Structure 1
Amino acid sequence: MTAPLDAPESAQQADPEAIARGARNVASRSLTQIAWQRLRRDKIAMIAGLIVLLLILAAVFAPLLVKWFGYPPTEFNQAPIDPATGGVYKDPDNPFAGIDKTGGISWDHLLGLEPKTGRDLFSRILYGAQISLLVAFLSTILCVFIGTVLGIIAGYVGGWVDTVISRAMDIFLAFPLLLFAIALVGVIPDSAFGLTGNGLRVGLIVFIIGFFNWPYVGRIVRGQTLTLKEREFVEAARSLGASNRHILFRELLPNLLTPILVYATLLIPTNILFEAALSFLGVGISPPTPTWGRMLSEALPYYTTSPHFVIIPGVAIFITVLAFNLFGDGLRDAFDPRSSD
């Protein structure tokens, strides 16, 4: 049986105005809005981003959190410590009660105490986060700055300039960075370049990581620049008489911000691990300033009597690196133009 001739038109086809409104809504979304919608659908990346945000806030407000929930990170407390094994007593008033495998975790010491010294682990973890994130962020900024400038120049100018910069990338990538860092940080004097103590060491580590890791960013930027400089908007700018500087930093650079941002989030955990490795080897930040790598190194002799001392800084490094990696992967997928909406 056929449909009646006087059937309403909406029953036979979609409303043209509704289709037009939907098309306008889709067309009005910017690339940033599309990427944000994709990122919101990635629950793992959102959880990782929340963890990253909490880590940053904990590091920034470490003095306030320690004042409320902990003790100064360099304050020694020998009363609950067994002088023979360095472990923490279950009951400080009764040494015969034995060693507490949890390391004295309580409301007063949320993550327990360090063996042998009795320092509060909660406050040392927070202050260690300050050092790790500070070094990671500053070195990443330096690395991205150098890599972006040299990469965009190499890709746009080409010729002998591209050859020189590309060969410099190959040399830096083949450089034994860890050995160089150990040698340089180990022989640096107590004061230089107007800096002293750990301020000098932080600056030196940031310089080593940023200056010698820029080729990783430079290669990505160079490859993207080689593709973008052949696009129509660059030809249009050139035909209008735009200078090379204008094309580089007003036309090409804004289109490179997305891959640079994504790679920077993936570079931060690598820099955190590098700083932790230097501290673990004893050539990073000088004690008593707490760092996760040095805490892990100092914990190794006590893994049988105080396993929490090994587990806590190790878990802090693991969670931080994993969160940054997952968030970086989510950003990469969100900004990928080949991803489906």
Structure 2
Amino acid sequence: MSTPLEVEPGASAAQPEAILKGAGKIEGRSLWQISWMRLKRDKVALAGGAFVAFLVVVAILAPLLCKLLGVTPNDFHQDLVDPSLQTPIGKWGGISADHPLGIEPVNGRDIFARIVYGARISLLIAFLATLVSVVIGTVMGVVAGYFGGWVDTLISRVMDIFLAFPLLLFALALVGALPDKLLGIQGDALRVALVIFIIGFFSWPYIGRIIRGQTLSLREREFVDAARSLGARRPYILFTELLPNLIAPILVYATLLIPTNVLFEAGLSYLGVGIRPPTASWGDMLSIAANWYQVDPMYMVPPGLAIFLTVLAFNLFGDGLRDALDPRSR
């Protein structure tokens, strides 16, 4: 038998209320606060998010930055180009105080101005195309996962058809078949809308399959059964019970889908079916650099590095966000 605890004479046993009285109020934390605490500990993800924020600010302030430096994206500076070699005069691609990243071969357009203006095009298309695919994919995935049966079968087969579609070939054929003016839209606006449509409308099955799988799991949870037992209708269950629990995977996959769309837009512009010159685009800059790589290899570095750092930053931030919102995925 254990020896009974001895209490000194004159001392009384402390009551639990007395112990907790001086402990102070214990404040609870929401799931989003806990996720933010996890994300703050991931310095690599924070660095990626900071670079993404910096890139967005640079893209928004592109006209102001170019005005401060006295450069424009489409002005020619042929006096700075060697007339015989058609390459920038001087070393390192014509880098100078007036042109911090140098100039293009042949026409001498400023690379810095075209990089920051190209960021506007790439991020605009990537964000809007991601928004389109996320909205369509979320709606179709939730409907397929919740209703099941023939609805799930029909939507799943549609997803399979879209996933098997040769997207790049379709983009090449569609751009060649469309006129220069459509529905009152023409020029750069038409090309931007076309690229957003192609990327957003044909990439929604990727996120749709993920949301469908999450919905299949959530619809069997106790809180959904409780809502049904209280007489909740299907729209209420979909938008009030299921959708808030799907925000985390939607955010994570959206951050990982954006760099994919940046690469796809650059690829279309590289092939000549994206944004038309002289509008600045990273893919178009790489296309020009490929033709002048042997005589001016430095011209390939700025647009290539811009695409590399942008995709890397989004991927690092997306991985960190996934670990913060769902630590069991590690």
**Counterparts of 1:159 and 1:54 in 2: how far apart (Å)?**
46
Q: Residue type matched to 1:191 in 2?
A: K
Q: Kindly indicate whether the alpha-carbon contact (under 8 Å) linking 1:151 and 1:219 is maintained by their aligned counterparts in 2.
A: yes
Question: Which of 310, 313, 316 is residue 326 of structure 1 equivalent to?
Answer: 316
User: Alpha-carbon deviations, 1:71-109, whole Å to 9, x = none?
Assistant: 11000011110122111112xxxxxxxxx2x11112211
* Counterpart residue number, 1:46: 46
The aligned runs of 1:143-292 (5 Å cut-off) are 143-292=133-282
The aligned runs of 1:4-15 (5 Å cut-off) are none
* Counterpart residue number, 1:115: 105
* Counterpart residue number, 1:30: 30
* Counterpart residue number, 2:66: 66
User: Alpha-carbon deviations, 1:253-276, whole Å to 9, x = none?
Assistant: 010011000000000000000000
2:20 equivalent to 1:17 = yes
State the number of aligned residues: 324
Q: Residue type matched to 1:312 in 2?
A: P
Distance 1:301 1:84, change over 3 A: farther
Displacement of 1:338 in angstroms is 2.6
Q: Kindly indicate whether the alpha-carbon contact (under 8 Å) linking 1:228 and 1:252 is maintained by their aligned counterparts in 2.
A: yes
Distance 1:105 1:18, change over 3 A: farther
Q: Kindly indicate whether the alpha-carbon contact (under 8 Å) linking 1:147 and 1:217 is maintained by their aligned counterparts in 2.
A: yes
Q: Kindly indicate whether the alpha-carbon contact (under 8 Å) linking 1:70 and 1:123 is maintained by their aligned counterparts in 2.
A: no
User: Alpha-carbon deviations, 1:204-246, whole Å to 9, x = none?
Assistant: 1101111110011100110010111111111111111111011
Q: Residue type matched to 1:109 in 2?
A: H
Q: Residue type matched to 2:36 in 1?
A: W
* Counterpart residue number, 2:3: none
Distance 1:84 1:4, change over 3 A: farther
Q: Kindly indicate whether the alpha-carbon contact (under 8 Å) linking 1:70 and 1:110 is maintained by their aligned counterparts in 2.
A: no
Q: Kindly indicate whether the alpha-carbon contact (under 8 Å) linking 1:46 and 1:327 is maintained by their aligned counterparts in 2.
A: yes
* Counterpart residue number, 1:86: 86
**Counterparts of 2:173 and 2:319 in 1: how far apart (Å)?**
34
Distance 1:127 1:18, change over 3 A: farther
* Counterpart residue number, 2:76: 76
Displacement of 1:306 in angstroms is 2.0
Q: Residue type matched to 2:112 in 1?
A: F
Q: Residue type matched to 2:215 in 1?
A: T
Distance 1:104 1:195, change over 3 A: same
Q: Residue type matched to 1:321 in 2?
A: V
Stretch deviating more after TM superposition (131-140 or 65-74): 65-74
Q: Residue type matched to 1:143 in 2?
A: S
* Counterpart residue number, 1:317: 307
Q: Kindly indicate whether the alpha-carbon contact (under 8 Å) linking 1:198 and 1:286 is maintained by their aligned counterparts in 2.
A: yes
Displacement of 1:110 in angstroms is 1.1
**Cα RMSD (Å):** 2.4
Distance 1:248 1:313, change over 3 A: same
Displacement of 1:305 in angstroms is 2.8
Displacement of 1:20 in angstroms is 6.1
Q: Kindly indicate whether the alpha-carbon contact (under 8 Å) linking 1:70 and 1:109 is maintained by their aligned counterparts in 2.
A: no
**Counterparts of 1:19 and 1:209 in 2: how far apart (Å)?**
59
**Counterparts of 2:69 and 2:46 in 1: how far apart (Å)?**
28
**Counterparts of 1:16 and 1:172 in 2: how far apart (Å)?**
63
**Counterparts of 1:302 and 1:237 in 2: how far apart (Å)?**
65
**Counterparts of 1:116 and 1:19 in 2: how far apart (Å)?**
77
Displacement of 1:307 in angstroms is 1.9
User: Alpha-carbon deviations, 1:120-139, whole Å to 9, x = none?
Assistant: 10000000000000000000
**Counterparts of 1:305 and 1:19 in 2: how far apart (Å)?**
76
**Counterparts of 2:45 and 2:22 in 1: how far apart (Å)?**
33
* Counterpart residue number, 1:55: 55
**Counterparts of 1:190 and 1:18 in 2: how far apart (Å)?**
76
Displacement of 1:34 in angstroms is 0.6
**SS of equivalent to 1:170:** helix
Displacement of 1:38 in angstroms is 0.6
**Counterparts of 1:115 and 1:44 in 2: how far apart (Å)?**
37
Displacement of 1:302 in angstroms is 2.0
**Counterparts of 1:339 and 1:304 in 2: how far apart (Å)?**
46
Identity across the alignment (%): 61
2:131 equivalent to 1:131 = no
Displacement of 1:16 in angstroms is 4.1
**SS of equivalent to 1:64:** helix
Distance 1:188 1:260, change over 3 A: same
Q: Residue type matched to 2:86 in 1?
A: G
Displacement of 1:18 in angstroms is 8.3
**Counterparts of 2:300 and 2:83 in 1: how far apart (Å)?**
19
